[in-house]
Every structure is written in C-alpha cells, then in structure tokens.
Amino acid sequence: MPLTRLGLVVHEGRAAAVEGARTVREWCARNSIGCTPIDVWEQQEPRRSGQAEMAAAGPLDLIVTLGGDGTFLRGARIAAKKDIQVLGVDVGRVGFLTEICVPDVERALDAVHAGRAACEERMTLTMRASRTPELPADMEALLRYGRGPALPPPQVRPETTEGDGWGVALDVTALNDIVVEKLARDRQVALGVYIAGRLLASYSADGVVVATPTGSTAYSFAAGGPVLSPRMRALVFTPVAPHMTFNRSVVTGADEPVALRILPHSGRAAISVDGQLRGVLDPGDWIGVFAAPRPLRLVRLQRPDFYGRLRERMRLTDAPAAAADTSAPFFRPTSPVPADLAHLYLPPPPETADSPAGPAGPGAG
C-alpha cells in the first residue's frame, strides 16, 4: 500500500528506539510521507484515550512502534480503532509481537510502501461492564506508583442502551489480555466465573486472566496457562494462584463470552487491559469479556514462524536424554503438496524459507 502518513510510537527510555525513530523520520522526509508522534506524554500530563489519540493524529496508513512488546501494545490500542496496520520494531527482550530489528527498518518501510508486505490478523478482546470502571482518587497515586500517568477511564461506546441489563459497552481493545486481580496483598479476590452464560465455578484467587491466543504467551502463560497458536480464534481463561483444587485453564470458543462477577464477600479488584490499569471493581460489579469484531492487522515481511520464535524467545531446550532433531519429518519435502494436505498451513519449501512472503494461506508455498 502506498503510504501517505504514518504514526510513530517510541520507547523514549531506550537509545536504540530513539535512534530508530530518527531513521523513520528521515525515511519519511525522503519519500514525502507525513510522520507524526502518537501516545506521547510528559510525566505529569494525563494520557489520552485511543479515540482521542486518533483524532489528534489525523488519518494514518501505518503505525510504527519502536520498543518492546509493551510499546507495541501502546500502538495496537490506537491502531485497532481504525483498522490501521502496525509494524513493530524490536529493541526489547522478548519480542513476540514485533517483526523486525532497527537495522531493517528502512527495508521494511520500503516493502510496505511498495505493497510487498503481507498482513497478519490477530484476534482482539473488548468488554462490557455493570458500570464504567474508575480509579478512586484516594487510591490512584498508590496504584500508579512507579508507573507513568494512567490512561483515562474507558469511554462508553454509543451502542450502549441504559437499563437493558447488558451493562455498558466500553471502548476497550485488548490484544493480549484482560485481567482482574486483588488489590490487597492479604485478601484474595472472590468471583463467579461464567462462560457462555453458565456458571463454571466461584473462584478465590490472586486474580484471573482472560487472554487471546496472542496473549497466551504472556501473563496467562506465566500463570500456568497453555500456549495457543495466534492463528486461532479462542479465549483462554486462566486463574492466578487459585485457592481451590481446580486450578486449570479453560479454552473457550471465540463466540463464548467470559463474565466475571465480584462476589459480595470479596475484596476490591483491579482491572487491567494489556497491562494498563483501567479501574477498580467493587463487590457486586461484573465485566463481560468477548471477542472484538475487529482484529488487529500486523505487518509481516516474511511468513510468520510462531513455533520457531516460541523456541527461541522462551529458550526451550531439548531433553538431556534426547538427541537434537534438526530435520523435520513430513513437513516438508520439496515435492508438490499432495491433494489431501492442500488445506493445511505448511511451511514453504526449504529453498524459499527465507524469501519475503506474500499472504500465508493453507498449503502455502
């Protein structure tokens, strides 16, 4: 897609990100493409909502993030509002979401500008609630200690109808997860968990995570949850340190909402969206988490290798008693794909494994 204007989200605390941002601006100037910073704030200034950021930035064709996955998520919450593609430039430590390193940023922008880049869609989450979550004034300073300024409370989406029993529709987008967790160290959160309208169980736990397949390698994974392919459409419910025998994750269909009600005897609970604190829930409050209608669109310069990245970034090691296996059986020989395998998502033939990829569909290559 020919670019006319892009937005830039930068981790200002990392020299490599600042240098990469300079490279992006210079590339834009050479190609007569507009470039505007977004999600920028001073320490004592309030941050803006995703909709307010988009209104301030104006029309954008692409958002480029320079930092780690946290910086990418900052760009993602804004891009998801208007179906804008996101290109993540990695200067972080884990980098499951980012696509390239700083030295490759000009090559990547050239590819996007010339229409040679592919687009990968990732499922996102949104939510409804019994009321709009807010940070109590007497608790905000404590809850935000050591962090930058808080995002404003989620805005109510226009499709909300007062008093219809469905709660308020919140202008929230999560690429990784929505988390409800305890506020007090000595008091767990007690909540009823409903899946597709049916009670699963009442939990007493440090918290609970509702994650996307993309977020299955984040907080949910750290709490013992499963790893899901980001190509899936599903929700992952994972309790964090539950005080009960059943401590397993539950994977639901993408059309099965997960509702969480804070029980009357519970302590207050904090709600976070992609790691950003968005409010406090009181006993009796509830939220409903479900698949958002719009996916996030990620720029990909080559065919995604999620499992190779999983092995590398999680530093997976082979069993000491097993010899390292370096030749993948069955997937894939250089001969044409048989008809009964044509519907599968297969890696490209070895001789083209490193070439730029177009759309990666079933039986690609």
Q: Is 187 annotated as a binding residue?
A: yes
Identify the residue whose tokens are 């994972």: 238
Three state DSSP letters for 152-217: CCCCECCCCCCCCCCCEEEEEEECCEEEEEECCCCCCEEEEEEECCEEEEEEEECEEEEECCHHHH
Q: Is 276 annotated as a binding residue?
A: yes
Identify the residue whose tokens are 């404590």: 142
Q: Is 176 annotated as a binding residue?
A: yes
| Residue 214 φ then ψ, to 5° | -60, -45
Cβ contact 64:8 at 8 Å? yes
- Residue type at 260 in one-letter notation: L
Q: Is 354 annotated as a binding residue?
A: no
Cβ contact 35:24 at 8 Å? yes
Q: Is 247 annotated as a binding residue?
A: no
Q: Is 138 annotated as a binding residue?
A: no
Segment holding 18, helix H or strand E = helix 15-30
69 annotated active-site: yes
Catalytic pick among 39, 61, 69, 90? 69
The answer for 76, left when phi > 0, alpha when psi is -120 to 50, beta otherwise, is alpha
Q: Is 69 annotated as a binding residue?
A: yes
Q: Is 177 annotated as a binding residue?
A: yes
Residue 262, number of CB atoms within 10 A of its CB: 23
**Residues in binding site for NAD(+):** 69-70, 74, 176-177, 187, 206, 241, 276
**Residues in binding site:** 69-70, 74, 176-177, 187, 206, 241, 276
Task: Point out the residues that are catalytic.
Answer: 69
